[in-house]
Amino acid sequence: MKYIGIYSLFFLFSTAILFGQKNEKPLTTEVSKSDIVVWNVKRLAESKARLATKDPDLLPAYEQLIKLADDALRFKPVSVMDKKDLPPSGDKHDYMSIGPYWWPDSSKADGLPYIRKDGEINPEVRNYLDKENLPRLCEHVFNLSLAYYFSNNEEYAKHASKLIKVWFLDTATAMKPNLEFGQAIKGITTGRAEGIIEVRHFIYLLEGVQLLRSSESFKEGKEKKLKKWMSDFLAWMQHSKIGLDELNAPNNHGVWYDATSLALANFTGDTALAAKIIHRAAERLDKEMDDKGYFPFELARTTSLHYSTFILDAFTIIAQLSEKINIDFWNLKTQSGKSLKMGYDALLPHYAGSKAWTWKQIKPFNYSNSHQILWKASQKYNCTSCIGIIKKNASDYNKLVLRLL
């Protein structure tokens, strides 16, 4: 598996924003392409003012953002109707995907039931376009919205609004607000709780929506309709069997469930639910982290550094979203003395290369996936070496869009 509200705008991270992503690029188990962005209203305004003076220190990052947004203008609207095969419901409006690590059983003539190979992706997942299209959609909306904010170019807002409308709001193309058929396993189940992690990208799309509010293109009640859709989806997450199963997941899936639910609660204005989710996330941190700041469930995976980063990303987003209701998750200590900072302190030496990673990692770790951890550590935990580590791993630090945020 790869990796908002109304107050100031929450801090998120996005590797796509850092390095770009071609439309044709297949999804992998890398950390989500929308996990490396950090922003807040004050900082955005400061960057915008500096760009107005042609500040040479920020212009390369701005130019990179505009390039990404221009690429996004060429991204045609996508919808759940694009898939070729019908989901079990017989209705293409239902989202569908299949489990990435499940393969045909070569000992069976029909390959059924599928068998699991952890960390090895069955290329058949690319036959189900919903899983591929949704992250791209959310990423492009995010980039377009940010470019609209800095440039005041209404074309960016117009296209972002169109992408949102086609996926969520148009009667002919809208996704139903459920995930009953996510991460199906052929011969075993038509849908699993694990599929919910695929919609964590909603977090980043909703962040972009905050910047579209001043545009002409996002009027006509689109935000109100989107809130209704997200409210219905949140209700499905809270009450469906699949949603409740994912709620009880004891690893990164449960944490991402909380991060996604928190973003939806904030967006729809349910402050009481948001507080409940944050409390639950603190309990997860207490149970899932060991005394050294690592996460044993993630260490057991075949790509353990990837998953250790992935779960820390989820907790980081929860900390950012918690600021919406004035809860300080960054410095919270759990009943047994665990904290988010312990997780940062555990992983930073491995990102810096000063401490070897001794757990299983069957494929090279993409160190750009650590940038969001390093960036936040520099801001929240006074990590004086973190920016240097990013510069070491980034091919052109001056073009990193996170410098605007």
SS3 track for the chain: CCCCCCCCCCCCECHHHHHCCCCCCCCCCCCCCCCECCCCHHHHHHHHHHHHCCCCCCHHHHHHHHHHHHHHHCCCCCCHHHCCCCCCCCCCCCCEEECCCEECCCCCCCCCCCEECCCCCCHHHHHCHHHHHHHHHHHHHHHHHHHHHHHCCHHHHHHHHHHHHHHHHCCCCCCCCCCCEEEEECCCECCCHHHHHHHCCHHHHHHHHHHHCCCCCCCCCHHHHHHHHHHHHHHHHHHCHHHHHHHCCCCHHHHHHHHHHHHHHHHHCCHHHHHHHHHHHHHHHHHHCCCCCCCHHHHCCCEHHHHHHHHHHHHHHHHHHHHHHCCCCCCCECCCCCEHHHHHHHHHHHHHCCCCCCCCECCCCCHHHHHHHHHHHHHHCCCCCHHHHHHHHCCCHHHCHHHHC
Whether domain 15-404 has CATH 1.50.10.100: the reply is: yes
Quickly state the pLDDT bin for 395 (edges 50, 70, 90): confident
Of 1 and 126, more confident: 126
Condensed to tens digits (0 to 9), the pLDDT of residues 21-80 reads: 333 333 333 333 334 344 577 889 999 999 999 999 999 999 999 999 999 999 999 999
pLDDT over 70 percentage in the chain: 90
pLDDT at position 15: 34
Quickly state the pLDDT bin for 5 (edges 50, 70, 90): very low
| Pairing outcome for strands 115-116 and 181-184 | unpaired
Condensed to tens digits (0 to 9), the pLDDT of residues 344-359 reads: 999 999 999 999 999 9
Condensed to tens digits (0 to 9), the pLDDT of residues 157-189 reads: 999 999 999 999 999 999 999 999 999 999 999
pTM of the shown model = 0.87
Q: Where are the domains of the chain?
A: 15-404
